[in-house]
Chain A
Amino acid sequence: MRRFMFIALLVGVTGCASSGVRHVATVSVVSAHAVLAATQDTEMLLVCGKPGAPAAPACVPLAEHKVISAKLADAFGVDVQVATIIRDWPATGAAPTSIGALLGQITVVVNYVLDHLPPGALTTKLLTVIGGAK
């Protein structure tokens, strides 16, 4: 079972706001977004029947693609939410406590998609790019 875990860059964040802490949070969400986007792009290339996609069983069945897409839609919604929280984080305010949990929700979706991608060159490339492991 493939697993991907975002590095908990916010571990040890103090309650004191500083430009450094906000920057770390920004890097975290930018990284999470990049992983989620790469996962979506790879899955789209592997949908059965799409030009260039491998033949079954090395492709993602349409029914599963719809399930995955629904989960990705939720994950990108969380992505927007956490990026907005960080962007709107006041300079004098304490670090928002919800960021870690929200990033965790994105991780769950990424791992679900990884578990449902068929083995092959594109999946291997994705794992290499995002640092996941089987």
Chain B
Amino acid sequence: MTFTIQALTQWIALGEQILNTGQDALTAVKAAAVAHGIEQDTAQLDAVILDASLRRAMAIGQAEANKGPNG
């Protein structure tokens, strides 16, 4: 999986934005990508890929858990 946002400082700023504003990760990734000149549709798709990957990992964890959703 590749990302169009590369710089570590950009990820840190993105994380701070999410924490400080409560903005959901999907919206924040897209906004940051567009702000850095990435074409909007590509930014949307990258955000979907990121969020879907995270949700897939969560679903796998839930499917394989031996206990309930709270561990």
* Interface set of A (CB-CB < 8 Å, partner B): 22-23, 26, 29-30, 33, 36-37, 40, 44, 47-51, 62, 65-67, 69-70, 72-73, 76-77, 79-80, 83-84, 86-87
A79 in contact with B69 (CB, 8 Å): no
Instruction: Pick the residue among A22, A48, A65 that contacts B41 (CB under 8 A).
Output: A22
Known: A44-B69, A47-B68. A83 touches B59 (CB 8 A): no
B69 in contact with A86 (CB, 8 Å): no
Complexed CA–CA distance, A67 and B48 (Å): 24
* Interface set of B (CB-CB < 8 Å, partner A): 1, 41-42, 44-46, 48-49, 51-53, 55-56, 58-60, 62-65, 68-70
A interface majority secondary structure = helix
Q: List 29 A-B contacts (CB under 8 A).
A: A26-B45, A29-B45, A29-B48, A30-B45, A33-B48, A36-B55, A37-B55, A40-B59, A44-B62, A44-B69, A47-B68, A47-B69, A65-B62, A66-B65, A67-B63, A69-B62, A70-B63, A72-B55, A73-B56, A73-B60, A76-B53, A76-B55, A76-B56, A77-B52, A80-B1, A80-B48, A83-B49, A84-B49, A87-B49
Complexed CA–CA distance, A40 and B68 (Å): 16
Question: Given the complex, which residues of A lie within 8 Å of B53, measured CB to CB?
Answer: 76, 80
Instruction: Pick the residue among A23, A29, A72, A87 that contacts B59 (CB under 8 A).
Output: A72
Question: Given the complex, which residues of A lie within 8 Å of B41, measured CB to CB?
Answer: 22-23, 26
**Across the A-B interface, the 10 shortest Cβ-Cβ residue pairs:** A76-B56, A69-B62, A69-B63, A73-B59, A70-B63, A87-B45, A79-B52, A72-B59, A26-B41, A83-B48
